Structure 1
């Protein structure tokens, strides 16, 4: 599996745009579209927010999990709940304020694009886009992408536009045929940054080919190779939750599978060795710190404090004294698959 390499994102404004006559198709009007219907239409193609995952560079969503969403195996994790805990919820709530700030500080007028757009070329029909806003009255930019990021997400913006956001915007420019976009991001609720991204034809060509390959996985119902991410681990658990009883797969003659198994054993031994080294150094430092709570070094510090005493429930003693409570308050916990490695030596 290959992944898309996006380099020098802070220099995107220096790329050379090529004029294009592309005009996106308005696939469906979203003004009165229900959220459920919107999600169904999103499954018909790769949206701009899907682009980075389809290219294998999204920090939170793997190709495999996106494939499971597009093939209907799992629901999208897009949550617009109003419980106050969803970053996506607050992102949607703050988006108009970010757009208002942008208009006030740039003088550019913006308006909503109430449509799901589709690439006009038939061989790129899988490319869809939802634009936050269109910028009107200026030749400099045509698209506005509004972003919000909390304390954790803000770290991804310290060196400029994150790779997955740059991929998203280039996808939008590919679908619409537009030449440039502004990204206005609100960081931690009090800092705003503005970036300009110009159309990059070579980058767009690479994105299209990666997305075309991903869509072939979707149309053929073939799962893409998993990566190292937590998203891929989650997807594999959902894809293969329960094994066939007493089943066994013989891969002893499969050269590729045996190579992977050898790599796994090698990494396992290496990790064990590193863990032993880590623990040895940790213990040596603890011996130096002795009775002190904090030790300061030229590059940082170590805290070795005692936690506060806490009161916990002694469940064993409780059940011994009141065994009838086990039946009254017990519950069944669903089992999970355990990945255990055994060797022949």
Structure 2
């Protein structure tokens, strides 16, 4: 790709101020949005490029979850955006204003940007504010001035579309103004060129060409994608035949299974030995939950705390279903999983 042409102005693609969520989702299918940049770059923790391809082509999952698992977190994030922006303005003194438009890059029109807020910078130029929320346990992702990599690609996508040099990203992770991160990301044209090239290849070679991109992401992400799109298991279907060329992979899988079994056996033996060592200490503790041993230079603290766990026996779940079907429907969710195994047999 030649050197980037920076003499351009972002173009308005749509007014989002009165769009329903369904309309907004349909509009996004006409290009690549900022939150999708990390998927194309292969670092999204949530989706594969194949998932994104299906979305752009309007292909719905065969296994549709009746209710999105993380819908509460998303709703909290949406509702707190304005608060995060107000806090940012108070902390920095920068003027912030919402922008209810979806933009596109005039040179790469498949690149879209739907911003949270824009900023007036002291230089007279505009910047972008991206607002995030997270829970207390995920704050470590922001430590040491870091930005989660999927958010960084989102911000770099926005800088490219809007032709601006800086994005501030603000994240609230608690319920007071000290539990708040502000990060500044400056434009890097080399990285931006890499991003544009990857997005252009994805849009032209896969979405527009109608070609499914290969799976290259982490196994768990790929298997979840396959689960969503292949449809439910049907045990009445006859076995399919796979070519003998795949034999080597099957033998490798079996070898790994054997190795895992040996490691599991070793783990069980280690756990047994640990339990044997713990017996005299547990006996001394009795009802007490802590003990301390010290030799003058090192102290060892032993903890033997109770753990409470509520379980429901399988037969009681059946009883609940039969006696109180309405309560059962309210509190019990059923899920289906599939287990992959290989069994070696004589031909």
Displacement of 1:129 in angstroms is 1.3
CA distance in 2, matches of 1:185, 1:317: 45
Tell me if structure 2 keeps the 8 A contact 1:71–1:221. no
Larger Rg: 2
Matched, 1:251 2:243: yes
Shift of 1:92: 1.0
CA offsets per residue over residues 269-318 of structure 1, 9 Å max, x none?
33333322322222221211123567889899775747579775745997
Unaligned runs of 5+ in 1: 1-17, 320-324
TM-score by length of 1: 0.76
The answer (yes or no) to whether the contact 1:65–1:232 under 8 Å persists in 2 is no
Tell me the SS of whatever aligns to 1:86. helix
Aligned match of 1:161 in 147, 172, 180? 147
Structure 2 contact 32–199 (Cα < 8 Å) conserved: yes
Q: Considering only aligned residues, what root-mean-square deviation do their CA atoms show, in Å?
A: 3.8
Structure 2 CA distance for aligned equivalents of residues 84 and 337 of structure 1 = 23
Which digits, 9 at most, give the CA deviation of each residue in 1:141-194, with x for residues without a partner?
A: 611111111123323212411111111101111111111111111123331121
Match of 2:13 among 1, 21, 27: 27
Are residues 1:152 and 2:137 paired? yes
Query: What is the Cα deviation at residue 35 of structure 1?
Result: 1.3
Q: In structure 2, which of residues 241, 254, 257 is the aligned counterpart of residue 265 of structure 1?
A: 254
Q: 1:299–1:130: structure 2 CA closer, same or farther, 3 Å change rule?
A: farther
TM-score where L is the length of structure 2: 0.76
Map 1:5-154; keep pairs closer than 5 Å. 20-74=6-60, 86-121=72-107, 124-139=108-123, 142-154=127-139
Take 2:14 and 2:312, find their aligned partners in 1: how far apart are those partners? 58
Q: How many residues align?
A: 312
> Counterpart of 2:264 in 1: which secondary structure?
helix
Q: Which has the higher contact order (CA 8 A, sep 6+)?
A: 1
- Which residue pairs with 1:285 in the alignment? 274
SS at match of 2:22: helix
